[in-house]
């Protein structure tokens, strides 16, 4: 049984004129990291609102651990990082975290140690008794938000744009933290348009566009379907075009580019790559080199027809890449799995 089950979820505004979410269906298994990705305004946060019982769905069904999201037993199990860090600005960091520890219904005896634990987790080194929430930078607020979400030892962790406003080191921290939570068996639902980040932590992802879930895909499986095989052969007098077309046709792959004596095919696995090479060789082309080029998740998403969304995602993706580059320049530490 799925931990989170969403069936035909629909959310409309203005008496049904605006459809923010349209017949969304997906499920999340216990211990899974599930990503909702899509351009800005796709409906990701609205889905989160319904999952967290902050908005009432117009239609459809949501079950979390077999219960309605409004059930207090469900709320007892969740931690939530909101996209906009509108926290109680006047509180000190300690007051804020103690407040949420209390609200989460945790025993008071563990409050001090729990606050220290979550602050260490998010690597927030501040004078927690004196530092006010309003004095914190956007990136620090994001870390504080993650700390408050983790404070009740949640079973399900909802993160709405977790890297928003964070510096490159923050990106790394979030990734490290999510992987740690995943190791501990926490179920994570992540909402982001930073595809690079999603790809590195998620088990499965749902592509959302204009309120509709276009596809729910397994990230590991995606790595097979989005490989590009680059094949190079020695120059020869014969026309290589028929051989390339025949190779693509026989293997069921797509020829996407030919430059001189180099061609690119999209392939869905090693066996298909072997078929192409065999076909080209049998056609008389003297193949001397072949290798895979991994397509980024963003490219896969961009292959969908919506041009407007492509542009938005492309920009976001560029921001991602810039952050990664900045990290490299700043000499930031890399994780073992990177």
Q: Is residue 187 within 8 Å of residue 3, measured between CB atoms?
A: yes
Binding test (CB under 8 A) with other proteins, winner from 33, 37, 42, 46 = 46
**Residues in region 68-97 near other proteins by CB under 8 A:** 68, 70-73, 75-76, 78, 80, 82, 84, 86-91, 95
Name the minimum Å distance from CB 287 to other proteins.
Answer: 54
Name the minimum Å distance from CB 73 to other proteins.
Answer: 8
Binding test (CB under 8 A) with other proteins, winner from 102, 153, 216, 268 = 102
Q: Which is nearer to other proteins, 53 or 229 (CB)?
A: 53
Q: How many residues bind other proteins (CB under 8 A)?
A: 34
- Tokens at residue 213, please? 């879930």
Q: Which is nearer to other proteins, 16 or 336 (CB)?
A: 16
- Tokens at residue 128, please? 């927690």
- 3-state secondary structure string across 140-173: HHHHHHHHHHHCCCCCEEEEECCCCCCCHHHHHH
Q: Which is nearer to other proteins, 54 or 335 (CB)?
A: 54
Cα distance between residue 56 and residue 12, in whole Å: 10
Binding test (CB under 8 A) with other proteins, winner from 105, 252, 269, 284 = 105
Q: Which is nearer to other proteins, 108 or 307 (CB)?
A: 108
Q: Which is nearer to other proteins, 9 or 52 (CB)?
A: 52
Cα distance between residue 101 and residue 108, in whole Å: 8
Name the minimum Å distance from CB 296 to other proteins.
Answer: 29
Cα distance between residue 274 and residue 288, in whole Å: 14
Tell me phi and psi for residue 179, to 5 degrees. -65, -35
Q: Which is nearer to other proteins, 46 or 290 (CB)?
A: 46
The answer to the question of residue 6 lying near other proteins (CB under 8 A) is no
The answer to the question of residue 49 lying near other proteins (CB under 8 A) is yes
Tell me phi and psi for residue 154, to 5 degrees. -70, 150
Mark 202-241 with x for binding to other proteins (rule: CB under 8 A) and - for no binding: ----------------------------------------
Cα distance between residue 180 and residue 172, in whole Å: 12
Q: Which is nearer to other proteins, 102 or 250 (CB)?
A: 102
Q: Is residue 264 within 8 Å of residue 250, measured between CB atoms?
A: no
Name the minimum Å distance from CB 101 to other proteins.
Answer: 9
Binding test (CB under 8 A) with other proteins, winner from 12, 55, 281, 319 = 55
Q: Which is nearer to other proteins, 78 or 188 (CB)?
A: 78
Look at strands 4-13 and 18-28 and give their pairing: antiparallel
Look at strands 204-209 and 33-37 and give their pairing: parallel
What is the spatial order of strands in the sheet that 187-192 belongs to?
Answer: 78-81, 156-160, 187-192, 33-37, 204-209, 212-218
The answer to the question of residue 186 lying near other proteins (CB under 8 A) is no
Q: At what angle do helices 168-183 and 307-330 cross, to 10 degrees?
A: 100
- Tokens at residue 276, please? 């192409």
Alpha carbon 54 to its chain centroid, in Å, reads: 22
Name the minimum Å distance from CB 98 to other proteins.
Answer: 9
Binding test (CB under 8 A) with other proteins, winner from 4, 24, 104, 285 = 104
Contact residues: other proteins, CB under 8 A: 45-46, 49, 52-56, 68, 70-73, 75-76, 78, 80, 82, 84, 86-91, 95, 99-100, 102-105, 148, 158
């Amino acid at each position: 049984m799925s931990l989170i089950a969403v069936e035909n979820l629909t959310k409309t505004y203005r008496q049904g004129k605006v459809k923010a979410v349209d017949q969304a269906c997906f499920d999340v298994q216990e211990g899974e990291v599930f990503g909702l990705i899509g351009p800005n305004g796709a409906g990701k946060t609205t889905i989160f609102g319904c999952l967290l019982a902050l908005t009432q769905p117009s239609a459809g069904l949501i079950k979390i651990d077999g219960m309605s999201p409004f059930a207090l037993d469900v709320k007892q199990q969740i931690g939530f990082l909101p996209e906009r860090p509108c926290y109680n600005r006047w509180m000190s960091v300690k007051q804020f975290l103690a407040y949420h520890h209390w609200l989460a219904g945790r025993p008071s005896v563990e409050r001090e140690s729990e606050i220290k634990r979550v602050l260490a987790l998010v690597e927030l080194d501040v004078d927690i008794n004196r530092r006010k929430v309003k004095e914190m930078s956007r990136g620090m607020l994001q870390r504080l938000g993650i700390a408050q979400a983790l404070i009740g030892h949640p079973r399900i962790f909802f993160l709405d744009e977790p890297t928003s406003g964070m510096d490159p080191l923050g990106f790394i921290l979030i990734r490290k933290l999510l992987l740690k939570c995943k190791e501990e068996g926490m179920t994570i639902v992540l909402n982001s348009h930073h595809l690079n980040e999603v790809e590195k932590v998620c088990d499965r992802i749902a592509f959302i566009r204009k309120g509709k879930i276009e596809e729910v895909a397994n990230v590991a499986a995606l790595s097979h379907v989005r490989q590009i095989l680059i094949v190079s052969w020695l120059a020869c007098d014969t026309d290589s075009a028929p051989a390339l077309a025949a190779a693509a046709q026989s293997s069921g792959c797509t020829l996407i580019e030919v430059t001189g004596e180099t061609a690119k095919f999209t392939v869905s696995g090693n066996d298909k790559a072997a078929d192409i090479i065999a076909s080209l060789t049998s056609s008389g082309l003297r193949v001397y080199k072949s290798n895979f080029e991994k397509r980024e998740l963003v490219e896969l998403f961009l292959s969908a027809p919506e041009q407007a969304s492509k542009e938005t995602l492309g920009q976001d993706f560029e921001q991602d890449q810039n952050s990664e580059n900045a990290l490299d320049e700043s000499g930031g530490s890399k994780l073992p799995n990177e």
